[in-house]
A = this chain, B = another copy of it.
Amino acid sequence: MSFSRPLRQAQDERDRREILEKKLNIALRNIACFSVDPEKIAGQNCENMIGVTQVPLGVAGPIKITRLGGKTKEYYIPLATTEGALVASVSRGCKAVYLSGGATVRTEQVGTTRAPVFQVKNLEHAQEIITWVKDNFEKLKQVTESTDKYITLFEVKPFLSGRNLFLRFVYDTSEAMGMNMVTVATHKAVGLLENKFGVTCISLSGNMCVDKKPSWLNFILGRGKQVWAEVFVKRDTVREVLKTTPEKIVSVVASKTMVGSQMSGSLGFNSHFANIVAALFIATGQDPAHIVEGSMGITSAHVENNGDLYFSVYLPAVLVGTVGGGTGLATQKEALKLLGLGAGCKGQAFELAQIVAGAVLAGELSLVAALAEGHLARAHERLGRGKKT
């Protein structure tokens, strides 16, 4: 069978590119322009490489962020995006946040999860396994943690429906996002349980992890890191920087992100978390499929008694790391450096999650303000002039 033979026999990315250029009669000159090391990539990040996609990288900020009970820092936020107005909008939000003394952030470590599903014989069989798991947490901790020195098992939570027994393993994975680590660790525990109980693991991932799908489980209990960010914006700053009033911002939040999201059965009660999360994840080498979970969350706004604006965001499932995955690639590593991250120091994954929250706060504040004044269409019109669409 000759499925794609020439391509499979290609020696390197240049070879592959040339085969495709010839076969399809096209030129791939820009894709060929890159500085990353294709050999390193082949083994870790991307098979059948033919080059790179260049995603424009802008910088917003600086944003000032105070960690609850910790230090205040400033960051320039790297945003990889193709959507005009995004960087400008986040920057505007950063300015408003900056002039208000910065954002305060809070984080909870939930952990990275993997939930295999087993097919049990009946309720009795399920009960037997559930009881053993509860009574032998230390044993499971030892088995899973033996696979990686950077992994710690927090909890194993059982869920049962019919013959499907799900065991949700929750881990701390240090500075890595950790899906690889938890997969390997959980696989080891699965082997132990299969042998001990004569039970079959149907799938190492049983979709109660829940990885890369929007889900109420993650929304309610969190996954990876839960982060909150808030800012109190002076009334004057709202007027001068955001060109609107606290009252109008509260009104947009109430009608759009509260009622509109309810009426549409949305799993995100916000305006555009996804735009900022996507740009920051791509820039810093996070898994872009995690935009799905990472962009879930809620926006809140109040008018204070003194007329100032309280504005905040909550993101329940931010999965980020500063080592592993795409974080080792040349441009992504530089973007992390821009944030003062990436040496693998302890606490950096937390810091990155807080920067995500801060950037989302700024971007959300700016768009909600633009909507409050009917500026969205105007921005799009201006952009529209430059393009075919």
Contacts and interface: CB of A to CB of B under 8 A. Distances in A.
Interface in A32-60: 33-36, 41, 43-60
Contacts of A300: 161-164, 259
A334 B208 contact: no
Interface string A197-223: 000011111111011111111111100
A151 to B, nearest CB: 9
B24 A376 contact: no
A115 interface: yes
Given A4-B62, A259-B298, A278-B288, 11 more contacts: A28-B338, A46-B82, A46-B87, A106-B126, A119-B255, A162-B300, A204-B377, A220-B263, A254-B254, A323-B388, A325-B389
A153 interface: no
A116 to B, nearest CB: 9
A266 B296 contact: no
A212 B161 contact: no
Contact of A58 (B50, B82, B203): B50
Contacts of A285: 82
Contacts of A117: 255-256, 259-260
A266 B210 contact: yes
Nearest to A289: B274
Interface in A317-331: 321, 323-326, 328-331
A242 interface: no
A326 B184 contact: no
Given A265-B216, A288-B278, A291-B291, A338 B20 contact: yes
B289 A288 contact: no
A348 interface: no
A283 interface: yes
A72 interface: no
A214 B332 contact: no
Contact of A266 (B47, B184, B217): B217
A215 B264 contact: yes
A13 to B, nearest CB: 9
